[in-house]
Amino acid sequence: MTVRRLGFRLPPLPNFCTRGRFGVFPAPMTEHTPKKLFIKTYGCQMNVYDSDRMADALAPHGYEPVQVMEDADLVVLNTCHIREKASEKVFSELGRLRDLREERRANGQDLMIGVAGCVAQAEGDEIVRRAPAVDLVFGPQSYHRLPELIARAHNGSKVVDTDFPEEDKFEHLPAARKEVTLARGLTAFLTVQEGCDKFCSFCVVPYTRGSETSRPLEQVLREAQTLAEAGVRELTLLGQNVNAYHGLDARGRTVGLGELCYRLSLIPGIARIRYTTSHPLDMTDELIEMHRDLDALMPYLHLPIQSGSDRILKAMNRRHTVAEYRSVIERIKAARPDMALSGDFIVGFPGETDADFEETMQIVAEIGYASAFTFKYSIRPGTPGAAMDDQVAEPVKAERLARLNALITTQMRDFGRSVVGRTLPVLIEKPGRQPGQVGGRSPYLQAVHMDGPTRLIGQIVPVEIVAAGNNSLTGKIVTVAEPNPASVIESRASAAHI
Ligand code: SAH
Ligand code: SF4
Ligand code: F3S
């Protein structure tokens, strides 16, 4: 991958621009010029987090989010390149947007169209060539420059910015207003690490997100503190390889994910911490011990193995064997026996034989997953897997996927049933579907529905699990703790939901 540095020449300053520390930023709009923003998010949780940060970056410039694409003045597609289908979806959406813009223009109005995320990073100019209606294309490292990019696009030029700039975008992305954070919910994503150096031979992420970087400890703590002050109770720390986190503290010491979780747990209001996605090779002793010692660290771990065959793992360049994965799981279970496990599996990687696939079925049967994501191998141009000879036929992939899914569905159902009769601490997150009901999550990330008052939103209450459905549990609140009036966090959270 070539990493290009900030290479564009800035246009003459338009009169509505101001010069910021790192370039030219349009001045925030006045209240006379509100603009409507619609961001459509594809792909992983990191894109969900990024979409919110883009909205936050544009809010001071007068952009208000709208729920319907047809109402927007600016539509941004925040894209995913991980599999062919994900990436092709973007181009069909761009076709729809082109038609929408034509309708607008016929009525004397306009629509600006932007493409962000991993397809933008991977395809750059090619997007504008294939879909000329697109005004701006920008990669994940440019989100702090979005106001400036929009200003340039307003001047009529097509803007393509897929550089990996030197400045730290997180230092320049504004925080959301408290009401906005709270409206997003009591659980929040927080990106702590980006990029990947592992180069699995099927995967585009090291090319689209660049090499592994970790945010400094204090910067993450500050963001978490702001989230907690707005009422957030649960954080999910994000990274393409989150357990490779190695941020620097104020003294220049390297801090691992375990210590980061501990420091976050000290922030008043933060009751639960999760993280995703992890690589088996980066499950350090420190992190595993934290699962034993830190109550706030939830007993749910997404730890993909991808295949149960050593031969295929080698071809995938996973750099670990099945035995090594098994031993990581044993260490985790020794520290936290009730750990619920989740994974990702790819079927039909080039060269995968029936015997290799049976080994995948075996490891799934042996580990027993609480949930898992399964995929048919998808050829990604530019990755080593794309050049491998022995590609597996589509019907074979489909059959293997169906068998694996059947096994995993059974395991997920069994896991749900295994908690029936137990009393679990449930974080009440929102009103339920029916009046008089509330919804929350168990420590194992299971959705739980139960009768209860909305004033409990934001609290963790003991709930007896009485039934397990396909995707959620039904529970009964055991004792209802009265909300503590001194707790600003809890009362704010409740007020927003009543
Ligand atoms: N960093 C994470 C996963 C990132 S991508 C990890 O290492 O586990 C999410 C998942 O998409 C991967 O775990 C993999 O199962 C799947 N995936 C990635 N590339 C793929 C491809 N070319 N075809 C099918 N599935 C793929
Ligand atoms: Fe992709 Fe492998 Fe990196 Fe995960 S570890 S993001 S699968 S290259
Ligand atoms: Fe997709 Fe990029 Fe995430 S390729 S899975 S959006 S890191």
Three-state SS annotation for 316-353: CCCCCCHHHHHHHHHHHHHHCCCCEEEEEEEECCCCCC
Alpha carbon distance 276, 104 (integer Å): 41
Confirm or reject: Cβ of 346 under 6 Å from ligand 1.
yes
User: For residue 453, how many other CB atoms are within 10 A of its CB?
Assistant: 16
Higher pLDDT, 102 or 34: 102
Six token digits for residue 102: 């034509």
Q: Which ligand is nearest to the CA of 81?
A: 3
Most ligand 2 atoms within 8 A of CB, residue of 193, 196, 201, 277 to mutate: 196
CA of 417 to the centre of ligand 3 (A): 32
pLDDT at 106: 92
Per-residue pLDDT for 221 more than 70?
yes
| The predicted structure's pLDDT at residue 492 | 32
Q: Provide the mean pLDDT of the chain.
A: 89
Ligand 1, atom 10, lies closest to the CA of 344
Cβ atoms 154, 20 nearer than 8 A: no
The pocket around ligand 2, CB under 6 angstroms, is made up of 196, 198-200, 203, 205-206, 240-241, 279
Ligand 1 pocket, 82 CB below 6 A? yes
Rounded distance, CA 219 to CA 216, Å? 5
pLDDT (mean) for 296-321: 98
Cβ 202 under 6 angstroms from ligand 1: yes
Stated pTM of the model: 0.90
Question: What residues have CB less than 8 Å from 228, skipping those under 6 apart?
Answer: 267, 268, 269, 270, 489
Mean pLDDT of 283-300: 97
- State the pLDDT confidence band at 256, using cuts at 50, 70 and 90: very high
- For 286-290, which contacts have Cβ atoms below 8 Å and span 24 or more sequence positions? 286/256, 286/258, 286/259, 287/243, 287/256, 287/257, 287/258, 287/261, 288/331, 288/332, 288/335, 289/258, 289/335, 290/258, 290/259, 290/261, 290/262
- CA–CA distance, 253 with 58 (Å, rounded to integer): 34
Could you give the domains of the chain? 17-166 (3.40.50.12160), 170-418 (3.80.30.20), 423-497 (2.40.50.140)
Cα(205) to centroid(ligand 2), Å: 6
pLDDT of residue 168: 86
CA angle 92, 94, 100 (to 5 degrees): 115
pLDDT at 23: 37
Quick one: pLDDT at residue 163? 86
User: How sure is the predictor about 157, in pLDDT bands with cuts at 50, 70 and 90?
Assistant: confident
Q: Which atom of ligand 3 is nearest to the CA of 209?
A: 7
* Ligand 1 nearest atom to the CA of residue 380, by list position: 22
Contacts of 42 (CB under 8 A, 6+ apart): 77, 78, 79, 80, 86, 89, 90, 117
397 CA from centroid of ligand 2 (Å): 21
For position 277, what pLDDT does the model report?
95
Q: Evaluate if residue 26 carries a pLDDT over 90.
A: no
Question: In which element (H, E) is residue 498 found?
Answer: none
> How is 40-100 classified by DSSP, letter by letter?
EE-SSHHHHHHHHHHHHHHGGGTEEE-S-GGG-SEEEEEE--SSHHHHHHHHHHHHHHHHH
Closest by CA to 196, choosing from 204, 184, 185, 186, is: 204
In short, whether 189's Cβ falls inside 6 Å of ligand 1 is no
Do residues 73 and 37 lie in contact, with contact meaning Cβ atoms separated by under 8 Å?
yes
Distance 450 CA to ligand 3 centre (A): 34
Across 290-312, average pLDDT:
98
Residue-wise DSSP of 27-50: PPPPTT--EEEEEEE-SSHHHHHH
pLDDT of residue 481: 53
Distance CA 63, CA 442 (A): 36
pLDDT band at 482 (very low <50, low <70, confident <90, very high): low
- Minimum-distance ligand to the CA of 196? 2
Q: Which ligand is nearest to the CA of 90?
A: 3
For a substitution probing ligand 1, which of 47, 196, 202, 283 has the most ligand atoms within 8 Å of its CB?
202
CA of 193 to the centre of ligand 2 (A): 13
pLDDT number for residue 480: 54
Percent of the chain at pLDDT > 70 equals 90
Q: How far is the CA of 248 from the centre of ligand 2 (A)?
A: 23
Query: From ligand 1's centre to the CA of 281, what distance in Å?
Result: 16
